[in-house]
Amino acid sequence: MARFGRFTLGEEQPIEIYEGDSMKLEKGYVKILNGDPTFDLHVQQLVAVIHLDKGQSVRQIDSSAQIGSKVD
pLDDT digits over 2-57, tens only? 899 999 999 999 999 999 988 888 887 999 998 876 766 567 888 999 999 999 99
Torsion of CA 27, 34, 62, 48, to 10 degrees: 50
- Res 13: pLDDT: 94
CA distances from 1 to 18, 22, 23, 28, 52 (A): 10, 8, 12, 24, 22
Cα four-point dihedral sign 3, 15, 7, 57 = positive
Of the pLDDT bands very low, low, confident and very high (cuts 50, 70, 90), residue 64 is: very low
Q: What is the pTM of this model?
A: 0.73
- Res 70: pLDDT: 46
- Res 39: pLDDT: 63
Which residues, in sequence order, are CB contacts of 72 under 8 Å at separation 6+?
A: 13
